[in-house]
Chain A
Amino acid sequence: MTGGWAAAAPMIATFLASLVEFVEALTIVLAVGSVSGWRPALGGAGSGLAALALLAATATPILAVVPIGPLQAALGLLSLLFGTRWLRKAILRSAGRLALHDETAIFAAETAALRRSAGRVVAWTVAFKAVMIEGVEVIFIVLAVGTAGAQRLPAIAGALLALAAVLALGAALHRPLARVPENALKFVVGTMVSAYGVFWIGEGLGFFWPGGDLAILGLIAGWAGFAIVSARLLRRRAAVPA
């Protein structure tokens, strides 16, 4: 694969995918902080990040001893499952068949729930759980995108950049990042990760790809074209009265 693209594509994919997950975690941590105080919120979030770092450090050496072919196929399948799930959701939302994700509503719901159950331990636990759950998702995304394509460093860099961006914005705004166009991000990430997933399954199974590694570009275009056409068709069908 050509050098620049090889490093940039996994970084972009993990950056965008991680951005969505970190925004979800930040929304909950901000809700905890604004209701129960910043000490339990930041304590829970910090402990969650430490637990995640430990998890990532133990998972990486285990993967290093697995043969590359089956590993590529297995992680490719996970990427395909993850990518198509996001693509499906983005298509259905874009066609008006599913409600859009609303960070402001989540913030309000979390804040109301915390007010009902005031207490530092509850606040710490909620922040820890949010960071842990969303962070585990990020680890899976980074492992799937980075390991199968032997591009672990750019994949990790993408996730860390997303974390830094969300932390900086969260610190500056102190409120949920409702303006992040989540559905558009899910559309792009779903397309890219699905393309990588199919490519790596094929590589792992020893299938031929026309154009070699550049087939990934064709796969991204193929998934994107399919998603755009599907969303239009579903929107049109929804507009026609039964």
Chain B
Amino acid sequence: MRAVFSEIWGLFVEDGLLAIGLVLWVAAAALLVPLLGLGGFGGPILFAGAVLVLGASLARAARRG
């Protein structure tokens, strides 16, 4: 069972910062988009943030070699 749970965890989380970054970004978008009246751009904003988080994770991996 332990192996199954660790495999499930590994299915979604490999780079901890990528996973935390995406969760925080989605939470921030969920709060801020309606608050700032940006509903008309909500989808594209969500996408742009997710791309930036993945980009940051890749840049970090590249720096580490």
Contact = CB atoms under 8 A, between A and B. Distances in A.
A170 to B, nearest CB: 21
Contacts of B3: 129, 133
A24 to B, nearest CB: 11
Nearest to A203: B43
B54 to A, nearest CB: 5
Given A84-B18, A194-B50, A205-B30, A234 B58 contact: yes
The 9 A-B pairs of least Cβ separation, nearest first, read A207-B42, A209-B43, A81-B12, A202-B43, A133-B7, A207-B43, A85-B14, A198-B47, A84-B54
Contacts of B29: 205, 207
Interface residues of A, number: 41
A96 B5 CA distance: 30
A208 B43 contact: yes
Interface stretch (A39-47, A60-68, A99-107, A219-227): A219-227
A14 B18 CA distance: 23
Interface string A145-174: 000000000000000000000000000000
Interface in A60-97: 73, 77-78, 80-82, 84-85, 87-89, 91-92, 95, 97
A164 B42 CA distance: 40
B24 to A, nearest CB: 11
B43 A215 contact: yes
Contacts of A140: 8, 11
A210 B45 CA distance: 12
Contact of B15 (A88, A137, A199): A88
Contacts of A219: 47
Interface in B7-65: 7-8, 11-15, 18-19, 22-23, 26, 29-30, 33, 39-47, 50-51, 53-55, 57-58, 61-62, 65
